[in-house]
Structure 1
């Protein structure tokens, strides 16, 4: 199964989710990330946080959803639509879920406050990814409606 974490800029949240998912995922599951309007660079604080957590991020790049090397099975948007951010709508024949997370790239304040915003985003995504991967994935692969319900339930975890 291929999971696409999608946002607008593909510089922070979707990068954090992609690397974390791939770090934790069982064999046969793979995450990618992309943006509808990629910034063209991965935020350095995202890379530093992943390095501190011991998560490989070699080859992390901000890329467009038009340049995907494969068609995903699941698309998870991570934009914070409640903050007025426009979430991209992936129109392919996939399962879709929304796991909104505030964008740490817009955090302001001291270095410690900005780092805390990145850590909050990472921790939220990691909790959701861990909850998703704890599901009986083999059973769920054959039951799209149940998988959809579980994806949506996990996306509501704080």
Structure 2
């Protein structure tokens, strides 16, 4: 007599539904609002909202209030949660199938040389943090810049501090850049980290891949004259997770220079 089987892991139930899988796949490419997901998957809004709620309840998807329009929200796929859930499926089937959830290794010698631009509004916290973290993790294979649509006079000291204390990266002396000063070159990826910047970010030559990471602005937490440092820690952790999951995509990307030639 065969032993009784336990219930299938929740991730299998959630991801096996065709619409939920399409939503997960769409969100793997960046953050979107409900109406954008409706267009991407071609299903009614009430149906999309229902399945998004199931994904949110499971912790696979996170919603954050838009800083551009407070009545709206962006949905974000928690890739680390997905990795742990996938690793747990193997264990549930057979102990021998267990493996640690990890990103695939990226060999910088086989990766193409790419150009990536991060954009936010002030270029004083989120986009410089992303620039520093991607440059640190990708090394010489990626030329990475950041800029702002309305740059502030200087980097926020907490952004400098969190990079130094948490990641050992020193960006002391770096100055915010205006987006207009970096739009004359080709990019393979243009990634916005600010909901406001996403709305005004211009088109670029060679049609780079556009992504949006809806990261809350740490400079607006607490007293405006003395923001909460923990908000910068949360933002840096969020950005670093996204950067780590970006690396395999960069490894498989053909540079825009080759595509345009």
Deviations 1:93-117, CA, capped at 9 Å, x for gaps: 21100011000010115x9971110
* Structure of higher CA gyration radius: 2
Superposed displacement of residue 66, structure 1: 1.2
Matches within 5 A, 1:120-135: 120-133=234-247, 135=248
Query: How big is each residue's C-alpha offset from its partner over 1:118-149, in whole Å with a ceiling of 9 and x where there is no partner?
Result: 0000000000101111x1644x22399xxxxx
Gaps spanning 5+ residues in structure 2: where? 1-113, 257-261
CA distances 1:49-70 after superposition (whole Å, capped 9, x unpaired): 1111201314421111111274
How big is the alpha-carbon RMSD for the aligned residues of Structure 1 and Structure 2? 2.6
CA distance in 1, matches of 2:192, 2:145: 12
Aligned positions of 1:66-145 closer than 5 A: 66-68=180-182, 70-79=185-194, 81=195, 85-87=196-198, 88-92=200-204, 93-108=207-222, 114-133=228-247, 135=248, 137-138=250-251, 140-142=252-254
In the superposition, the TM-score normalised over structure 2's length comes to: 0.48
Q: Which runs of 4+ in 1 moved over 4 A?
A: none
Q: Is the 8 A contact 1:7 1:35 kept in 2?
A: yes
CA separation in 1, counterparts of 2:141 and 2:173? Answer: 20
1:152 corresponds in structure 2 to none
Q: Report the count of equivalent residues.
A: 138
Write the distance in 1 (CA, Å) between the matches of 2:238 and 2:249: 21
Higher RCO, 1 vs 2 (CA within 8 Å, ≥6 residues apart): 1
1:4 equivalent among 108, 111, 117? 117
Report SS of the residue matched to 2:141.
coil
TM-score, normalising length: structure 1: 0.77
Q: Is the 8 A contact 1:23 1:56 kept in 2?
A: no
Report the 3-state secondary structure (helix = DSSP H, G, I; strand = E; otherwise coil) of the residue aligned with 1:71: coil
Can you give the 5+ residue segments of structure 1 that lack an aligned partner in the other structure?
Answer: 145-158
